[in-house]
Amino acid sequence: RNIGGLYPHNLPDNRSSGINAEYGGYHKICPLSTLPHINRSDIMNFYHANNHPSRMVLVGVGVEHDDLIKAAVKYFPQDTTTGKYEADRAVYTGGHCYRFDDEAPPTIGPQELPTLTHVSIGFQSGSHQDDDYVKHCVLNTLMGGGGSFSAGGPGKGMYTRLYLQVLNRYHWMYSALALNHPYQDTGLFTINASCHPNNGWDLVQVLIKQFKEMSRNINHSELERAKTQLKSTLLMNLEYRNIEMEDIGRQVLASGHRKTPAELCAMIESVTPQELQRVVERMLESRPSVGAFGDLKSVPPFEEIEAAFKRDDGLLTNRITNFLLRGARGKSGIIKN
C-alpha cells in the first residue's frame, strides 16, 4: 500500500503522522505487536493476492529476447486472470507524531552513543508519474545534505545547501538530509535532521528557514551543479547490470514503459529555477508532516511549527512560554500520539 504521510513504519500511530489509514499509510515494517497474530493462512492469502502474473514484470539484460520469452513460458504459469489485489488511493493529510525516548542507543563499542533529538519535516510532493517528478529529484539533489562528518571528495555533495547553510554553520547539528519519497498516488519531500537535545527548538527553526528559502534565490551555479550531480549519479548507477534490471522493472511496472538514460538526462537538463520555485510553492501549500524521536525536551509543538510555516518570516514564537508549560507538565506533556 502507498503512504501519504511521514514514515509510518517508525511511528506508533499512523493516523497522527499525516497518513489516512483508510487509503493507505500502513506500516512498512511489521510492528512487534502484530507478529503474534500472523499465521500461515495470512501469509498465503497475501502471497496469492499480490504475487500474481498480472502484477509481474520479467526483465532480462544481456539476453536474447526470444530466449527470455521461452524461459518465461516454460517456468512461469500462464494464468492471465486478475488477482484479488485491490489498490486503495493514498491521500496525503499532513500531521505529526512525537515519540519521547531519552535512553542512549545500543552500541557494540566501548563508548556509548549520544542521545539525540531527531526531527523530520515534510510536505506533499508528487508521485513518480507526476509531471514535476524530475524537478523534485533536482530539488532533492540541490538541497543534498548528510552527516556532520565527511571525508569529502568528488560527488559527496559538499556544496549542497544543507552542507553549506546548515552543517557547516551550526556545530550542534549531527546530520541534515533532504529526501524525496515518490509513490504511486502522491509523494513526500522531507528534511531529516538530528542534534543535541538542548538545540531541538533551534533545529526546527533552521529546517523551517530552509523550506522557506527553497523557492528564493536559486542561483544558476547551484542549479547547474545539482543537475550535473544528478545526471552523474544516474549514469554511474546504470553501469551495474543489477541496477539496470531493477530500473527497467520499476519503470515498466509503474508506467508500462521505460525512459532511456538519454531521455532522463534531457528532462533533468531542462529544469529551470522558475520551475523549482513553482514546485516548492506547491509543496508549501500542503499541511506539514512532522515526526520527532528521541529526547524531545526542546522540540516545539506541532501547532507552533504549523503556525510558523504560515508566517512570511517563518519564525517560531512563544519559546519561553512553551518551555515553562512543559516544565510544569513534565515529560508526559511532550509525548504526541
pTM of the complete model: 0.81
Q: For residue 145, what pLDDT is reported?
A: 86
Mean pLDDT in order along the chain per 10 residues (337 residues): 35 45 62 89 87 82 90 80 64 91 78 88 93 95 80 61 92 93 92 94 96 88 94 91 89 88 95 94 95 93 94 84 58 40
Find out whether 23 and 91 touch, Cβ atoms under 8 Å.
yes
* Cell reading at 2: 502507498
Q: For residue 329, what pLDDT is reported?
A: 47
For residues 252 and 262, what is the distance between their CA atoms, to the nearest angstrom? Answer: 17
Q: For residue 150, what pLDDT is reported?
A: 55
Q: Which of 258, 253, 257, 256 is nearest to 55 (CA)?
A: 253
- Strand duo 117-125 + 95-100: pairing: unpaired
DSSP 336: B
Find out whether 208 and 314 touch, Cβ atoms under 8 Å.
yes
Instruction: List strands edge to edge, sheet with 187-195.
Output: 95-100, 289-294, 117-125, 187-195, 173-182, 145-147
* Cell reading at 39: 499465521
Q: For residue 91, what pLDDT is reported?
A: 86
